[in-house]
């Protein structure tokens, strides 16, 4: 599968700022409290065989520091681990979270303090997101907040850093090396002479995952690292991890 980088233009398969209520199954609308919706991606962009299957690039509020899921290990299951979480794509293109609500620290389950300094940082993310969305509505592009125009042209940011292609080595890979990934999946790294030659084998019940996209959270919410989304088409599982 070919890789395209620095995606600054949309098309019928790539849409920005989808509605959160259109992403998650009706039984799990509480997920809107944990993610900001960035893009919808029709998987025809990856391969024509997947046309009509639509996945969503989403940005979690957590973590404040460390990894998402670090503080909630008693609520993990075989589909979740620190820095890993999974959804199943339903037949009507909704995300069904395969973990437990307690995976998220920012809940009443964990007596989250919604007046805390950490919460204030998450609210800043929300505010940045709303500003970017307002600029998108105004300019029809994801643009720099401080300088939306430069020399008479839009100062565009990337919707996605990468679309399709091979999975690349990064800080996120350390959890595979330590075997600290969700146990429903098999994950291996075969190394060449350098990190850039690392080959990933990530699968579910023998079926491989493929890279859908990567994006920089900071381009959407003003902070954070890379969001990495993988897809396994047989089970229709969408797997997320994060590179900080």
Q: Sorting pLDDT into bands at 50, 70 and 90, what band is 194? A: low
Contact status, residue 147 vs residue 135, Cβ threshold 8 Å: no
Write down the pLDDT at residue 151.
Answer: 86
Mean pLDDT computed over 81-91: 98
Write down the pLDDT at residue 152.
Answer: 87
CA distances from 238 to 16, 28, 78, 93, 135 (A): 19, 16, 14, 11, 29
Contact status, residue 123 vs residue 223, Cβ threshold 8 Å: no
Contact status, residue 213 vs residue 160, Cβ threshold 8 Å: yes
Helix (H) / strand (E) containing 7? strand 4-7
Hey, what are 95's tokens? 């995300």
- Output the average pLDDT for the chain: 95
Q: Is the pLDDT of residue 124 over 60?
A: yes
| Residue 63 DSSP symbol | -
137 Cβ contact partners less than 8 Å away, ≥ 6 residues apart = none
Q: In 107-183, which ranges are E strands?
A: 149-150, 153-154, 160-163
Q: Is the pLDDT of residue 196 over 70?
A: no
Question: What pTM value is reported for the model?
Answer: 0.96
Contact status, residue 219 vs residue 158, Cβ threshold 8 Å: yes
Write down the pLDDT at residue 195.
Answer: 53
Mean pLDDT computed over 103-128: 96
**Number of domains forming the structure of the chain:** 1
- What backbone torsions phi and psi does residue 120 show, to the nearest 5 degrees? -60, -35
Q: What residues make up the domain containing 152?
A: 4-243
Q: Sorting pLDDT into bands at 50, 70 and 90, what band is 216? A: very high
Q: Is the pLDDT of residue 74 over 70?
A: yes
């Amino acid at each position: 599968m070919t890789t395209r980088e620095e995606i600054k233009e949309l098309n019928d398969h790539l849409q920005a700022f989808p509605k959160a209520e259109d992403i998650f199954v009706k039984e799990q609308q509480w997920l809107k409290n944990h993610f900001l919706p960035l893009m919808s991606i029709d998987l025809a962009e990856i391969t024509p065989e997947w046309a009509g299957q639509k996945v969503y690039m989403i940005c979690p509020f957590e973590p404040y520091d460390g990894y998402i899921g670090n503080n909630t290990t008693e609520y993990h299951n075989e589909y979740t681990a620190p820095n890993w979480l999974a959804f199943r794509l339903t037949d009507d293109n909704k995300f069904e979270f395969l973990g437990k609500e307690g995976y998220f620290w920012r809940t009443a389950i964990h007596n989250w303090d919604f007046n805390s300094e950490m919460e204030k940082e998450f609210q800043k993310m929300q505010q940045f997101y709303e500003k970017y969305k307002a600029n998108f509505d105004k300019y029809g592009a994801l643009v720099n907040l401080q300088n939306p125009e430069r020399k008479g042209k839009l100062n565009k940011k990337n919707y996605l850093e990468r679309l399709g292609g091979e999975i690349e080595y990064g800080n996120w890979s350390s959890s595979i090396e330590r075997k600290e990934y969700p146990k429903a999946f098999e994950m291996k790294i075969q190394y060449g002479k350098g990190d850039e030659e690392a080959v990933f084998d990530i699968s579910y019940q023998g079926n491989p995952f493929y890279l859908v996209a990567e994006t920089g959270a900071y381009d959407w919410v003003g902070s954070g690292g890379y969001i990495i989304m993988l897809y396994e088409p047989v089970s229709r599982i969408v797997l997320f991890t994060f590179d900080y």
